[in-house]
Structure 1
Amino acid sequence: MTAFVVAAAFLLLFGIGVLRDRRRFGNAVYLGLAVTFLCLGLFAEIDAAPPGVAETVMVVVLLVLCLGPVVLAGLLCANGVKMVRKEGRHPSNLLSLLAGLGIYGLIGLMIVAVATRSRPLGIAVGTALVVMAYVSFLFVCFVGYAYLYGRMRVRRDAGFVVVLGSGLIGGTRVPPLLASRLERGREVYDALAARGGRPPVLIVSGGQGPDEGVPESHAMADYLVERGFPEDRIVREDRSETTEENMAFSKRLMDEMDPGARCVIVTNNFHAFRAALMARRAGVEGQVVGSPTAAYFWPTATIREFAAVFLHHGKVNLGICLILVLLGAAVGLAG
C-alpha cells in the first residue's frame, strides 16, 4: 500500500509540473518515479493474483532481466553499423554502437566475476550496474516523457512558427531532414492561419556555417517560397550557429514584432524535448513540435539528446554517480 501512496504522490507532482510548464525535465523524473512505485506496488501484491498469474509474471520478469540486455545490445550494435554506413564515421554517429558494445562488455565482466569468484571484480561490476541502473532510469524517463510531450496538442494561440535550421547539402541545398522540418512548419502555420484573424509569421532560423555558401535560413526560405509559401509571411534569422542561438535570436525578432507573443517551434522529433528545455531556459514562450525522422537515425540521435540533457544537469547527475562509486569502493574496503 505504501508504494501506491508514493506513486500517487509522484503522479500528483507530475500533473502539477505539466500544468505549470510542460518543458521541465523534472516532469519526466516524476512520471518515471510514479510508474516505478506503481510497478513495485503491483509486484508486492502479486501473491493475491489468481493462480498462474504470479508464475507467469515471474517468468516474464526473469526473461526480460536475462535476455533483455543481450537483445538490446544486439539491436544497438546493428543500428550503430547502419548509422556508420549511411551517415559516416563521425563520433556522434557511433553512440548506439558504443552503447551496445558497452552492454556486452559489462555482461562479459559479470560472467568473468562469477566464474572466477573474484570479490574485487564482483564489487566493481556491481557498482557499474548500479550506476548503469541510475543512468538507464533517467534515460527511460527522458524517452517516455519526450514521447508524451511530442503528442501534446499544439496550442492555437501562437503568433509565430519558428523552424530551426540544420546543415545544407553542398552548402546551398536543403537536405531531407531539414525539408521534413519545413514541411511540418508549414502544416503548423496552416493550422494556425485557419483559426481566423491575422496569420502567424514563420521564422526560419539558421546562420551560415564555414562550409556553406548561404545562410541556412535563406535556403530554407527559398525552399518554402518555391513551393508556394507566401514570402511576406517569412522572416529570416540568419545569425545563429547553435540551437541556443536559434532560440535567443528568434526571441529578439519576435519581441521586436510582437512582444510577449507565443510561438510554436519546429524541429525533428528526436530533438523536440531537448529543444523545449532550451526554449524554457531562453525565456521563449512556446511549444516545440517534431517532424518525422528516418527510423535508423532515431536511436543514436536520442542517445545524443539524452547525453546533452544529462550533462546539462551534470553537477547533480555526475555527483550521484560519484557517490554510488564511492559507496561501492567503501563496500570493497570494508571487506
Structure 2
Amino acid sequence: MISTSLLLISIFLLLYITEKRRFLNTVVLGLLGLYFFSTVISHPVFLPNEQGIVSKMGIVIILGSFPSIMFALSIATFFNSKVLLEKEGRKVRNLMLAVFGLSFFIMMIWYVFVIFANIEHEIWHILFFYAFLVFGYTMFLYTSIMAYATLYHFTPIFYEPNYIIALGSGLIGDKVPPLLASRLDEAVKQFQKYGERPYIIVSGGQGHDEKVSEAYAMKKYIVDEHQIPAQKVLMEDQSTNTEQNMAFSKKIMDKHAQGKKYRSLFVTNNFHVFRASIYAKKAKLDAQGVGSKTAFYYVPNAFTREFIGLLEMYKWIHVTVFLFITLFIGLILRAYV
C-alpha cells in the first residue's frame, strides 16, 4: 500500500514540477485520490473480519451514500441554475448545470429501482452498469479537473514577468462588464506588484454585437480607472477565443521584445485559469496564470463549461475510452443474451 501511494505521489510531483500546464496531471491526481478513497473504504470499519465480508454498517454506508450524494448534487445544481437565471438572464448556457443535475437525479432513481426493486433480469443490471461506468468516468474527470484547477490556481508564481496578458471575455456595447473588469483589476494589481515594470497586453477582438474591440475598451478602462500610462498598455485586437489570445499576444511580445528573452503571465477569471494555461502551452508561451475573483454563484456553471471545453480539447481520447467501455459492455451482453 505504501509503495503504491509513494509511486503515485512521485509520478504526480514529477509531472507537476516539470510542467504544470498538462492535462495528464489531472488524471494522475485523480488516480491518487481514487487510490486513497479505496484505501479508506477497505478500512476494517467497512471490512471488519478476515473473510472480507462487508459489515452491515459498510453496506448501509456504501449503498446509501451513492443515491444520497446524487440527490444532494441534484438539488444543488437546480438551485444554482435558478440563481443564475435570475442574476445573469434567461440564457441556455445558464441551464447547463441543471442538465447535469437532471442526469444525477435520473441515475439516482435508476440506482434505487435496479438495486432495491429486486429485478432479476440481468440486462437491466448490465445496462445500469454501463451507465454507471460512463457516468463514473465523467465524474472522475470532473472532480480530478476541479481539484487540479484549484491547486493550479493557488500555486504561487516565483518569477517576475515582462508582460502581463489580460484575456478578454466580451463587452456590453462598448462597456467593460463586471466579469471583464475583475480581470483588468487583477492585471493592474499584478502590474503594481512588480513595480509597474511589466507591460500589460489587453487581448480581445471585436464581436458582432460590440461597438469597439475588446482590447480598445480594456485599454481605456485601465488608463481611465487606474491611471496607468497608455504606453504601458499594448493592444492585441484580432483574437476571438483563448487560443488566439495566446498565439496573437505572443506575436506582439516577440516583436516588442526585439529578440530578447522574456517571461509573461496571463490573467483571467479563476475558473478559466487551467484551460487557458493549456492554450498558453500550445502557443509555446513561457507563462503561468493568475485568476481574478468571480461571484461564487457563477463559478459552478462557468467551471462546468470549462470542463466541457477541456473534454472537447482532448475529445478523441475520451471517445476512445467511451468505445472501450461500450465494447466491454457489449461482450458482457453477448454472454447473457
Shift of 1:313: 1.2
Match of 2:81 in 1: 80
Which structure 2 residues correspond to residues 199-218 of structure 1 after superposition, within 5 A? 199-218=197-216
Match of 2:194 in 1: 192
Which structure 2 residues correspond to residues 248-287 of structure 1 after superposition, within 5 A? 248-258=247-257, 259=259, 260-287=261-288
CA distance in 2, matches of 1:64, 1:188: 44
What code does the residue aligned with 2:149 have?
A
CA distance in 1, matches of 2:149, 2:126: 34
Report which stretch shifted further, 33-42 or 253-262: 33-42
- Is 1:149 paired with 2:148? no
CA distance in 1, matches of 2:59, 2:110: 26
Which structure 2 residues correspond to residues 285-324 of structure 1 after superposition, within 5 A? 285-324=286-325
Which structure 2 residues correspond to residues 108-119 of structure 1 after superposition, within 5 A? 108-114=109-115, 115=117, 116-119=119-122
Describe the superposition over 1:275-328 as per-residue Cα deviations: whole angstroms up to 9, x where unpaired: 001111111110011111111111111111111111211111111112112212
Match of 2:176 in 1: 174
CA distance in 2, matches of 1:203, 1:99: 37
CA distance in 2, matches of 1:49, 1:121: 28
Shift of 1:222: 0.7
Residue 288 of structure 1: SS of its match in structure 2?
Answer: strand
Which structure 2 residues correspond to residues 3-152 of structure 1 after superposition, within 5 A? 4-46=2-44, 63-114=64-115, 115=117, 116-152=119-155
Question: Where does the alignment leave 5 or more consecutive residues of structure 2 unmatched?
Answer: 49-54
CA distance in 1, matches of 2:100, 2:265: 33
Residue 193 of structure 1: SS of its match in structure 2?
Answer: coil
* Percent identity (aligned): 33
CA distance in 1, matches of 2:58, 2:46: 13
Shift of 1:39: 3.0
Residue 245 of structure 2: SS of its match in structure 1?
Answer: helix
Residue 32 of structure 2: SS of its match in structure 1?
Answer: helix
Shift of 1:333: 1.9
Judging changes above 3 Å, is the alpha-carbon distance between structure 1 residues 23 and 187 closer, same or farther for their aligned structure 2 residues?
Answer: same
What code does the residue aligned with 1:128 have?
A
CA distance in 2, matches of 1:77, 1:316: 30
Judging changes above 3 Å, is the alpha-carbon distance between structure 1 residues 215 and 10 closer, same or farther for their aligned structure 2 residues?
Answer: same
Shift of 1:41: 3.1
Judging changes above 3 Å, is the alpha-carbon distance between structure 1 residues 55 and 149 closer, same or farther for their aligned structure 2 residues?
Answer: farther
What code does the residue aligned with 1:282 have?
A
Judging changes above 3 Å, is the alpha-carbon distance between structure 1 residues 158 and 132 closer, same or farther for their aligned structure 2 residues?
Answer: same
Question: Where does the alignment leave 5 or more consecutive residues of structure 1 unmatched?
Answer: none
CA distance in 1, matches of 2:114, 2:254: 60
CA distance in 2, matches of 1:6, 1:266: 37
Describe the superposition over 1:161-196 as per-residue Cα deviations: whole angstroms up to 9, x where unpaired: 000011111x100000000000111111111126xx
CA distance in 2, matches of 1:14, 1:154: 19
Describe the superposition over 1:10-65 as per-residue Cα deviations: whole angstroms up to 9, x where unpaired: 21111111111111111111122122223333443436999xxx998886655533
Judging changes above 3 Å, is the alpha-carbon distance between structure 1 residues 56 and 109 closer, same or farther for their aligned structure 2 residues?
Answer: closer
Judging changes above 3 Å, is the alpha-carbon distance between structure 1 residues 5 and 191 closer, same or farther for their aligned structure 2 residues?
Answer: same
Residue 289 of structure 1: SS of its match in structure 2?
Answer: strand
Shift of 1:159: 0.3
Shift of 1:85: 2.6
Is contact 2:126-2:329 (8 Å) kept?
yes
What code does the residue aligned with 1:296 have?
Y
Is contact 1:173-1:219 (8 Å) kept?
yes
CA distance in 2, matches of 1:88, 1:232: 38
Is contact 1:201-1:235 (8 Å) kept?
yes
Is contact 1:150-1:290 (8 Å) kept?
yes
Equivalenced residues, count:
325
| C-alpha RMSD of matched pairs (Å) | 2.2
Judging changes above 3 Å, is the alpha-carbon distance between structure 1 residues 298 and 48 closer, same or farther for their aligned structure 2 residues?
Answer: closer
